Amino acid sequence: MTSGLFPFPAAFQSHSLLTRVVFRPGAVDEAGSELARLGVHRPLLLASRRSRTLPQYGRLVDALGACAAQSVDVPSHSSVDTVERVARDIAKHEADGLVAFGGGSVIDTAKAAALLAAEGGELARHATRFTPPDTVRVPALRSAKLPILAVPLTASGAEMTPSFGIAHGPGKLLFWDERCACRVVLLDPVLNAGVPARIVLDSGMNGLAHCLEGLYSRQRSPYATALALEGLARFAAALPAVAERPRDAAARGELLVAANLAGIVLASARSCLHHALCHVLGSRCGVAHGAANAVMLPHVADYNLPAAGAELAMAAAALSAGRETRPETVADSLRALRQAVGAPSRLRDLDVAAEALPDVARHALSERGLALNPRRVAGEDELRRLLEAAW
């Protein structure tokens, strides 16, 4: 069907968030005033054990004032038990808002705790359900949620999504609730310059993956495409800059903006096979999410090439500043970027045993990301071969 000179556009869905983003040096000092704008007077502060040792954490505590209570240390792969403990702290301190200082695990824990405190029952009952090959059921979650203010320290973009994942058994429980989206995000490049570069570089590979998957997701939209391409170009420039100049606040700022864009892409287009595999590698093998992304990205790009050639051609141009448009070059560009930032390149280097790969492949088949992947996954053997190529 055509209209005038243009083909009728494909049907799509898009998702916009009511999130206020503040980007500037010293933005963390506005945490108290931003909470006051939301009507929050008794915030509960979440962070990891490592993040609490950073001088920047002290600045945030000072900005929040004496009214803030501190919750449990959040591990790198947050669990249902951690979420339940935070929910109990919400009740204990009568918290009327949450502050998440850290990376994706901390921010996702805040979202999950806000959901559990509002909806009650068992956390797993509120998770989305995936029935292969492409059916996803999202439960109706209508209760009002506590507002969340996030100070992201990594470059995954979790601060911009209403989705989140919590480790559970062999995989992750995945959730979607627009009421859990962060209400305020403080992007502070000077503060971030004090975070170890390795943390932001590895997590940046995760943010980059959000852009790439959003570009070819079956739920992509014109909005997600535009943001994904901008995000890919910014990641391609910012990641090597941070690797070369780890303390450069300007480079950190560019990376934070790229990650923020990636989060918006993920919120609208969701994730695909790549993240399905990385989720299981994390839960089954204990692999850090950013490192898993760095290893798997080129392999999944090649896997999806037969079904996403047009989208990967756009990715090739974005990653090369327009110098390359052949879709088959995306994997090589990703490998070169991975090498430039010193990220791991093989699963064996992450202490993943070869004997674990069939188990990872089997459990990945039940991951929601397969529903939106452009290439249909034929079965366990196909995923096992993909993982073996990355090993």
pLDDT at 171 over 80: no
The CATH class of the 20-191 domain is alpha beta
Hey, where are the domains in the chain?
A: 20-191, 196-390
How many whole angstroms from its chain centre is CA 374? 20
As a whole number of angstroms, the distance between CA 10 and CA 230 comes to: 22
Picking from 107-121, 275-289, 307-321, which range would have the lowest pLDDT averaged per residue?
275-289
Range 129-143 average pLDDT: 89
Report pLDDT digits (tens) over 332-368.
Answer: 999 999 999 999 999 999 999 999 999 999 999 989 8
Structure tokens at 224: 């997600």
Helix or strand (DSSP H, E) at 76: none
φ, ψ for residue 166 (rounded to 5)? -130, 130
> Which segments of the chain are extended strands (E)?
2-3, 6-7, 20-23, 43-47, 69-73, 97-102, 129-131, 135-137, 148-152, 163-168, 171-176, 184-187
Residue 133 pLDDT: 83
Tokens 């502070």 identify what position?
188
Q: Which of 296, 298, 229, 328 has the alpha carbon at shortest distance from 269?
A: 229
Residue 11 pLDDT: 82
The CATH superfamily holding the domain 196-390 is: Dehydroquinate synthase-like - alpha domain (1.20.1090.10)
- Answer whether 12's CB lies under 8 Å from 226's CB: no
